[in-house]
């Protein structure tokens, strides 16, 4: 089994790929331990039909463009990431009142998928200073025939920080380390940083895949209902502190 960078980048895109409440802004910080006190759907307000276009760059593959679209059924979110006509990833998530959880991640292109039991929490509010730890069992399987690759565990550590002062759009930074351990002996660690703008979603991110390659992605266009952000519409402006 081989983990490929396009899969990991595609799966990372899914977490913040469908934000759709342009008017949402950070609520006043009530104390030094809280960076964002609003509801989870102010950071990831998923809406049916939203579309994001990102430019992805890496030393190995140069520059390419990927697109992310989402659909919604109740509190279940389904995100599909494509590059041209190729489907890179399909991700299913659950939106709870104060948590965003990943149920499964599928890459048809590389014929590998993960299902998490219980679903893996990847974002929660209020967003507090300090490291959050999440653990889940996983099943790795092949989308082509449903055959099992192996079982194992995933350990996720993530933390929230103010975005760097020089950023003019994103106001929050999420750092994460995801460690996957499968019973066939395969281990992989994935590190990432994501920069978020409440009401818009992920502005940019950088991350390492299991093979050690570094990829960076930058938002080009966010189509949120009738509103456009980025090069296709309104500038994304970081709220004043």
pLDDT in tens, 24-42: 444 444 445 899 998 888 7
Residues 6+ apart with CB under 8 A from 47: 18, 20, 21, 70, 72, 224, 225
Please indicate, yes or no, if residue 139 is contained in any of the structural domains: yes
Number of structural domains found in the chain: 1
In a domain, 187, yes or no: yes
The answer to whether residue 215 is domain-embedded is yes
Is 210 part of a structural domain of the chain?
A: yes
235 falls within a domain:
no
Residue 239, in any domain of the structure: no
β-strands 148-162, 172-182 pairing: antiparallel
Q: Which residue range is the domain that position 174 belongs to? A: 5-230
Could you give the CA distance from residue 163 to residue 178 in angstroms, rounded to a whole number? 21
In a domain, residue 237? The reply is no
Averaged over 138-165, what is the pLDDT?
A: 96
pLDDT digit string, tens, across residues 171-230: 999 999 999 999 988 888 999 999 999 988 899 999 986 667 899 999 999 998 899 999
- Does 236 fall in a domain? no
| Cα-Cα-Cα-Cα dihedral sign, residues 204, 206, 210, 212 | positive
């Amino acid at each position: 089994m081989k983990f490929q960078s396009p899969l990991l980048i595609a799966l990372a895109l899914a977490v913040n790929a469908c934000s759709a409440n342009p008017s949402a802004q950070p609520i006043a910080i009530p104390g030094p331990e809280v960076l964002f006190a609003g509801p989870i759907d102010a950071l990831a307000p998923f809406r049916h039909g939203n579309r994001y276009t990102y430019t992805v760059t890496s030393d190995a593959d140069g520059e390419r463009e990927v697109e992310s679209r989402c659909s919604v059924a109740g509190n279940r979110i389904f995100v599909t990431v494509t590059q041209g006509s190729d489907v890179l990833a399909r991700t299913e998530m659950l939106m709870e009142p104060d948590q965003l959880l990943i149920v499964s991640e599928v890459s048809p292109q590389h014929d590998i998928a993960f299902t998490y039991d219980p679903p893996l929490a990847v974002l929660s509010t209020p967003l507090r200073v300090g490291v959050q730890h999440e653990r889940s069992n996983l099943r790795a399987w092949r989308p082509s025939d449903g055959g099992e690759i192996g079982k194992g565990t995933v350990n996720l550590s993530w933390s929230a920080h103010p975005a760097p002062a020089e950023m003019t759009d994103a106001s929050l930074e999420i750092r994460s380390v995801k460690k996957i351990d499968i019973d066939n002996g395969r281990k992989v660690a994935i590190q990432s940083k994501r920069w978020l703008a409440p009401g818009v979603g992920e502005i940019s991110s950088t991350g390492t895949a299991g093979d050690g390659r570094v990829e960076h992605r930058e938002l080009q266009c966010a189509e949120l209902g009738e509103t456009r952000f980025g090069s296709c519409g309104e500038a994304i402006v970081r709220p004043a502190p």
